[in-house]
Amino acid sequence: MKLLSIRLHNVRRFTAPVEITGFGPGVNVLSAPNEQGKSTVFDALHAVFFEDRKSWKQEIKSLVPHAGGTPCVDVEFEDAGHVFRLEKSWTSGRKGSVRILRDGQLFKQEDDAEAWLQERLKSPKDGGPAGLLWVRQGLIDLEDKKGDTLDARRDLLSSVTGEVEAMTGGRQMDTIRAECKQALAQFVTGTGRPKAGGRLKTAEETVEALELKKTELSNKAKSLRDDLDRRNSLRRERQDLEDPQETAARKDRLSKAIAAHDGAARHAAMLERAIETEESARIRVEAQQGRIEALDAQLQEATDAAALLAEAEAGFKDTTDRLRIAAGTLSDAKTTQADAQQRVETATLQHRAALAAENAANAAERRTELQQRLTKAEAHRAAAETLQIAARKGLAPKDLEEIERLWMKVTLARNVRDSEAAAVTMTYLDGRSNGVRIGGTPLPDGQRLPLPDGAMLDIDGIGQLQIHPGRSGEDNSVETAEAHFYEALEAEGLGDLNMARQSARERAEAEANLRETRAALNAVTPNGIDALREQLAAIPAPMEAAEDLPTVSEAEREEVVARQALAEANLALDAARIAADTAQQAETRAVSALENARGRAERARIALASHADPQAEHNRLSSELTTLQLSLQASRDARARLALDAPDLEAAAASLQRAQSAVDAAEASLQRIARDLAALDARIAMHAAEAVDEELADVMTRLEAAERKLEGLRFEVAVLQRLDTALEEARASARDRYVEPVLTELAPLVRMLWPEAELQFDADTLLPSGLVRAGTEEDFGVLSGGTQEQIALLVRLAFARILAKAGNPAPLILDDAIVYTDDDRIEKMFDALTRQANDLQIIVFSCRQKAFRGLGGQTLSIAPASEATQ
Amino acid sequence: MTEFRFIHTSDLHLGKRFGNFPEEVRGDLVQARQSILASLANAARDHGAAHILVAGDVFDTETPSDRVWRQALTAMGATPELHWWIIPGNHDSLTAENLWQNMVDHAPANVHVLRAAEPVEIAPRVTLLPAPAPRRFPGADLTAWMTSCATPDGHMRIGLAHGGVLDFGSDDGNSETIAPDRAETAQLDYLALGDWHGVWTLNDRTRYSGAPERDRFKHTGRGLCLAVTLPAPGVIPLVEEVAVGRFDWQEMELQLTPELDPLAAFSSLLPEKRQTWRDTLIKVRATGWMHLPARMRLAEAVNQVAPEFCHFEFDEHQLQTEYSPDDLNEIARSGALRLAAEQLQSAAEDEDAAKWDRDVAAAALNRLYGFVKGAEQ
């Protein structure tokens, strides 16, 4: 679609008809100061295309002039090879009108016209291009920050092409995904876990709770059934126990057992008595036998005691003799041992004295040797001290070396002076020797005599010859060297060089002697004189030698012999003591035996003393024993007869016990059963009242239903998750297809403003999210207003271009859309506009007349409508 | 000789809680179960009978709550002119001593709990031979004793027992069996049996009354009892089925093909009288194949009518969806939605995938279709 002209009548300030004509392809610029009606034209254009003729909302009412009137807007545009004229007016009461002429002929009117327009130019609400291609002042945001960002995206997205809309699913896709996610959110969290309080979680918890309840009730039901079985068992047991025949049989068995036991007990008592009678008779017989045996024993004891006493008396005498002999032997042994002991002590003392004397002799030798070494050492040390003093007095080698060096300098200075000084050589004529003198001393003959200081020569017979030294007399280097030389000698206390040399030799000799002396001293006392003295002091003082001492070896031999004698004496003494002790013990035993024998004999005598005639007594007792033995045999016969036919009392008691036990056990069992039954009855009654089976049956059916429901809910969740995944994957695939052409179209535009820059698109909103420059991504929101404005416009240009390529070109209308852009950047924007305008119609409304002058393109103006259009 | 009329019923299962049903349905079913005693009394009065023979399983468990058995006694005591003759069945066997002792201790005069297998003259010249179940699985034919049980000449002999017969599985699947010719061998004029929840006629003199109030879809329809008339000893009894249950249980199969109009097929299954829907429990098992849009319409139709029933189960596990290109076009002709739909369809038809994954994918595709249609509205 391409606009050709617009005519306004009764639209705000334009109460009189005005028109804008001359719209051409490419860029069209309507540049005028503020308050000239540019926005009015924009609003009128928007209204004529997108506001229904019946509309009377604020946007339409705002078009009515202050003075009133019916807003009328006529637009001519070209589309699909035809020229259309759209005439629309709005009145209160929703009675506006619209008609469309195509190539001068009436094409559509009223509702048909509106429908055609709506189809042709979808409104922004329907995803039409207005949001993209109609850009108001300051509307630079691509995202509607206050509203639904998705709508903003839709404006862009759906503006491009219906194919993109279909490709990504459009709002329908969003709606379905939202519904799917909403439905899913009722069941699970974002991570896929059952949502707390949600139906799935509740169903899971219900199943879990019912399973627990089922287990609990099953256990209770089993317990109840077990109790019922147990109760039945107990009742049968009680029934058996209470059976009359059984009860009577138990009682009969008990009665018979009691009777049998009583009879056996009576027989046993009789037998017991017979046994007691027999026992009494036996005791009497045994007592009589005892008395006879006692009398026999007394008689035998008297005989034995007399024999024993005689033997004891003999034994006592023998032991007394042996004791006396042993005492004598012991006394001798003690004397011998004491002598041997004395000899050992004496020998030991002699041995020790011999050893002491030997040690004293060794110490004296050592002292003498040390004393000699000390004397030598002290002599060496005194010599060394003297030598050391002598060495210190002498000239040190380095000092001598210094004096020699200074003397060399003197000699050298003298030689130099003499070689440079005036000199005379006197050659005497014969007979005139010593005729010339210097300082009173004759000049030697033929010898060159330098005269560095000049001289006065006395020439005999002639006079005096004055020799002037010339310049050489001024040289004092000899004196200086000599001064240094003699200062050095004087410092050492020496008169000349020879003395110095002699002093140095003496020192060297003293030092050599000193070393020899010290070596000798060291040889005598390696550890020093003090150590030597200490050694000497450590040797004990000499002892006075004893006389008549044996040698050590002699003393040792004597001590060994004495000790051997002592050992032998000790052995003999021990043997004597043992023998004495043995004899003493034997004597003691003999005394004791003698006393015992005497006592025994006395007791035997006393025992027999009560019998006047022991043998007669013995005969009487024997006769009575015979009578008692006959009585015992009679008792034995009677007891044997009773024992022969005695009933088994233990068996009878066992029978009685068993019969009684059976009766008692039956009674106890009945009592136990009664208690158990009471407890079971109570428990069963309690469980029965709880309606356990009924509850269990209910829980099982509810569990079954709950499990089915849970299974259904899990299936439902799986279905929704599957659908969500499928939608997401499809959307992602479509998104890739969508973004690519937009980026392709946008890239050259972006580079016109920012070489090397690249726009980033948000994966969800499909809107530019940032600008990457020099490798750094800047979020769209933090870019400057100018940059945001430029990007927004470039994106729209890109979409408009895609729209045009899709065969649905639409004019891009900008109402002061570039307000933040500086002069430099606006030139580039103009380039971008011009570039895109090749196959687009771009209409720019601007108050920046000066700035937009450089945009070029077709210049528009608002002018009173011509007669032809009125 | 006057004829003898009585009501034969069994398997009341009082106290059954129906935990597998939603709460509101459960309440209705429990209430109906408690009300069945009054309905039986009405049936007896209508039939001119003074006796109601209950062939076991009055209670659902051996330990019903006090509320259950006390209210049952109260309900039975409310019709003192009617005599209730009750034997324990396998669900409430004599093992439940406390229950039956309580019943005996608190029973009104017209309620007779028969705990022993011994003849009872319940009316002049009418002897009842009861076979109470001693335990859940008695392990023997409890009616065997009836064969050797002598009754006075001229007495009508009625057997009352609970359990299955030969070649006739019990509802509980146990193997306890009653000789099918017991009525003949024991010279019974009528053998009233319980355990099978549906009405079953074994022979002229042996019948199962079925449960008076149904409790599962296995036995469809309303619960019945049998109004029995014994004209005279040895004469074939006259038996009439009397509907006493409140709720109508219906299970049906909805067989579908892509060509079939699913709504019409579905509507044809529903009871004609809409006013009966409130007391009807329906389980529809959908089978076969259908297109996605049709399936959505069917689901909507089910959702529309389901709340009008006491309970409505729509089992579509065996219903497969056949996807046509048009079905996918209705989701989207191109773009991301189309891509998602095709991916799900491919997954749903992937024979190599696990059945669960195929089912999930198919359901996800159905859901996508539903979302699209919902979004369009």
Q: What is the pLDDT of residues B187-200, one digit of tens each?
A: 999 999 999 999 99
Instruction: Beginning with the edge strand found earlier in the chain, give each strand of the sheet holding A768-773 in spatial order.
Output: A758-761, A768-773, A776-779
Q: What is the pLDDT of residues A634-653, one digit of tens each?
A: 889 888 988 888 888 889 89
Is a pLDDT exceeding 80 seen at residue A855? no
Long-range interactions of A449-456: CB distance < 8 A, separation 24+ = A449/A423, A449/A424, A449/A425, A450/A417, A450/A418, A450/A419, A450/A421, A450/A422, A450/A423, A451/A421, A451/A422, A451/A423, A451/A424, A452/A417, A452/A418, A452/A420, A452/A421, A452/A422, A452/A478, A453/A421, A454/A422, A455/A424
Cβ-in-10-Å burial (0-12, 13-18, 19+) of A478 comes to: buried
Cβ-in-10-Å burial (0-12, 13-18, 19+) of A135 comes to: buried
Give me the pLDDT at residue A430, please. 82
Q: What SS3 state is found at B79? A: coil
Give the model's confidence band at A315: pLDDT under 50 very low, under 70 low, under 90 confident, else very high. Answer: confident
Q: What is the pLDDT of residues A36-66, one digit of tens each?
A: 888 888 888 888 888 888 888 888 889 999 8
**Which residues in chain B touch residue A701, judged by CB atoms under 8 angstroms apart?**
17-20
Q: What SS3 state is found at A692? A: helix
Average pLDDT over residues A808-828: 76
Buried b / exposed e over B298-320, threshold 16 CB at 10 Å, is bbebbeebeeebbbbebebeebb
Give me the pLDDT at residue A27, please. 86
DSSP state of B332: -
Q: What SS3 state is found at A861? A: coil
Q: Are A70 and A89 in contact (CB under 8 A)?
A: yes
Torsion of CA A147, A149, A150, A156, to 10 degrees: 110
H helices present in A767-847, as ranges: 785-805, 823-836
Q: And the tokens for A682?
A: 């109570």
Across A147-151, A409-413, A823-827, B92-96, least confident range: A147-151
Give me the pLDDT at residue A142, please. 44
Whether residues B367 and A180 touch (CB distance < 8 A) is answered with yes
B343 touches chain A (CB under 8 A): yes
Residue B303 φ/ψ, nearest 5 degrees: -65, -30
Q: And the tokens for A741?
A: 């052409």
Whether residues A689 and B66 touch (CB distance < 8 A) is answered with yes
Q: What is the pLDDT of residues A109-157, one digit of tens each?
A: 998 998 888 777 654 444 444 444 666 554 444 444 444 444 444 444 3
Cβ-in-10-Å burial (0-12, 13-18, 19+) of B342 comes to: middle
Q: And the tokens for B137?
A: 């699985």
Mean pLDDT of chain A: 84
Give the model's confidence band at A163: pLDDT under 50 very low, under 70 low, under 90 confident, else very high. Answer: very low
| H or E element, residue A56 | none
| H or E element, residue A638 | helix A614-644
Average pLDDT over residues A443-466: 84
CA–CA distance, A497 with A483 (Å, rounded to integer): 14
* Nearest CB partner across the interface for B63, out of A693, A700, A731: A693
Give me the pLDDT at residue A11, please. 92
Of B159 and A866, the structure prediction assigns the larger pLDDT to: B159
Q: What is the pLDDT of residues A478-495, one digit of tens each?
A: 888 989 999 988 888 888
Give me the pLDDT at residue A429, please. 83
Give me the pLDDT at residue B169, please. 47
Is a pLDDT exceeding 90 seen at residue B331? no
CA–CA distance, A844 with A815 (Å, rounded to integer): 6
- Residue A638 identity (one-letter amino acid): A
Q: Are B183 and B203 in contact (CB under 8 A)?
A: yes
**Which residues in chain A touch residue B361, judged by CB atoms under 8 angstroms apart?**
722
Mean pLDDT of chain B: 91
Chain A: residue whose CA lies nearest to B343: A726
A178 touches chain B (CB under 8 A): no
Whether residues B360 and A168 touch (CB distance < 8 A) is answered with no
Q: And the tokens for B252?
A: 């049906």
Neighbours of A192 (CB within 10 A): 11
Neighbours of A709 (CB within 10 A): 18
The alpha-carbon gap from B93 to the nearest alpha carbon of chain A, in Å, equals: 12
CA–CA distance, B94 with A180 (Å, rounded to integer): 57
Give the model's confidence band at A671: pLDDT under 50 very low, under 70 low, under 90 confident, else very high. Answer: very high
Average pLDDT over residues B157-177: 70
C-alpha distances out from residue B212 to A361, B30, B290, Å: 148, 13, 39
**Which residues in chain A touch residue B17, judged by CB atoms under 8 angstroms apart?**
694, 697-698, 701-702
Q: What is the DSSP string of A393-421?
A: HSPPHHHHHHHHHHHHHHHHHHHHHHHHS
The A residues from 154 to 173 touching B (CB cutoff 8 Å) are: 163, 165-170, 172-173
Give me the pLDDT at residue A133, please. 61
Q: Angle at CA B323, nearest 5°, toward B320 and B324?
A: 145
Long-range interactions of A802-807: CB distance < 8 A, separation 24+ = A802/A160, A802/A161, A802/A741, A802/A742, A802/A745, A803/A129, A803/A159, A803/A160, A803/A161, A804/A839, A804/A840, A806/A160, A806/A161, A806/A163
3-state secondary structure A562-613: HHHHHHHHHHHHHHHHHHHHHHHHHHHHHHHHHHHHHHHHHHHHHHHHCCCC
- Residue A209 identity (one-letter amino acid): A
CA–CA distance, B165 with B184 (Å, rounded to integer): 14
Give the model's confidence band at B117: pLDDT under 50 very low, under 70 low, under 90 confident, else very high. Answer: very high
Q: Are B55 and B160 in contact (CB under 8 A)?
A: yes
Of A339 and A756, the structure prediction assigns the larger pLDDT to: A339
Average pLDDT over residues B170-199: 83
Give me the pLDDT at residue A124, please. 42
Give me the pLDDT at residue B89, please. 95
How much is the ipTM here? 0.71
Give the model's confidence band at A839: pLDDT under 50 very low, under 70 low, under 90 confident, else very high. Answer: confident
Is a pLDDT exceeding 70 seen at residue B39? yes
Q: Give every CB contact of residue B217 below 8 A, 6+ residues apart in sequence.
A: B249, B250, B251, B281, B283
Is a pLDDT exceeding 70 seen at residue A440? yes
* Nearest CB partner across the interface for A723, out of B335, B359, B364: B364
- Residue A682 identity (one-letter amino acid): A
**Which residues in chain A touch residue B344, judged by CB atoms under 8 angstroms apart?**
722-723, 726
Give the model's confidence band at B98: pLDDT under 50 very low, under 70 low, under 90 confident, else very high. Answer: confident
CA–CA distance, A151 with A777 (Å, rounded to integer): 25
* Nearest CB partner across the interface for A693, out of B18, B61, B375: B61
**Which residues in chain A touch residue B61, judged by CB atoms under 8 angstroms apart?**
691, 693-694, 696-697
Across A393-402, A465-474, B296-305, least confident range: A465-474
Neighbours of A191 (CB within 10 A): 5
Q: What is the pLDDT of residues A172-188, one digit of tens each?
A: 788 888 889 999 998 99
Q: What SS3 state is found at B258? A: coil
The alpha-carbon gap from A766 to the nearest alpha carbon of chain B, in Å, equals: 15
Give me the pLDDT at residue A528, please. 86
Of A805 and A349, the structure prediction assigns the larger pLDDT to: A349
If you average pLDDT over each of A379-388, B58-67, B232-241, which comes out highest?
B232-241
Is a pLDDT exceeding 80 seen at residue A530? yes
CA–CA distance, A216 with A222 (Å, rounded to integer): 10
Give me the pLDDT at residue A215, please. 93
Is a pLDDT exceeding 80 seen at residue A801? no
Average pLDDT over residues A525-529: 87
Buried b / exposed e over A637-667, threshold 16 CB at 10 Å, is eebeebeeeeeebeebeebbeebeebeeebe
Q: Are B245 and B234 in contact (CB under 8 A)?
A: no
Crossing angle between the packed helical segments B66-77 and B23-47, to the nearest 10 degrees: 30
Average pLDDT over residues B41-67: 94
A734 touches chain B (CB under 8 A): yes
* Nearest CB partner across the interface for A168, out of B19, B335, B361: B335
| Residue given tokens 């020496």 in the structure block | A494
| Residue given tokens 């390529």 in the structure block | A805
Give me the pLDDT at residue B308, please. 95
Is a pLDDT exceeding 70 seen at residue A864? yes
Is a pLDDT exceeding 70 seen at residue B336? yes
Please choose, from the candidates B146, B214, B149, the residue with its C-alpha nearest in 3D space to the C-alpha of residue B183.
Answer: B146
Give me the pLDDT at residue A150, please. 42
**Which residues in chain A touch residue B57, judged by CB atoms under 8 angstroms apart?**
none
Average pLDDT over residues B241-265: 93
Give me the pLDDT at residue A204, please. 94
Is a pLDDT exceeding 50 seen at residue B141? yes
CA–CA distance, A378 with A385 (Å, rounded to integer): 11
Largest CA distance in chain A: 208
CA–CA distance, B292 with A12 (Å, rounded to integer): 56
Q: What is the pLDDT of residues A558-588, one digit of tens each?
A: 889 999 999 999 999 999 899 989 989 998 9
Is a pLDDT exceeding 90 seen at residue A816? no
Give me the pLDDT at residue B315, please. 92
Is a pLDDT exceeding 70 seen at residue A522? yes
H helices present in chain B, as ranges: 23-47, 66-77, 97-106, 144-148, 182-185, 262-269, 292-305, 325-331, 335-348, 355-376
* Nearest CB partner across the interface for A694, out of B65, B371, B374: B65
Give me the pLDDT at residue A149, please. 40
Residue A446 φ/ψ, nearest 5 degrees: 65, 10
CA–CA distance, A630 with B62 (Å, rounded to integer): 90
C-alpha distances out from residue A24 to A838, A842, A857, Å: 11, 9, 9
Estimate to the nearest angstrom the gap between the alpha carbon of A247 and the chain centroid. 81
Of A807 and A138, the structure prediction assigns the larger pLDDT to: A807
Please choose, from the candidates A260, A262, A245, the residue with its C-alpha nearest in 3D space to the C-alpha of residue A655.
Answer: A260
Q: Are A26 and A857 in contact (CB under 8 A)?
A: yes
CA–CA distance, A766 with A769 (Å, rounded to integer): 8
Give me the pLDDT at residue B267, please. 93
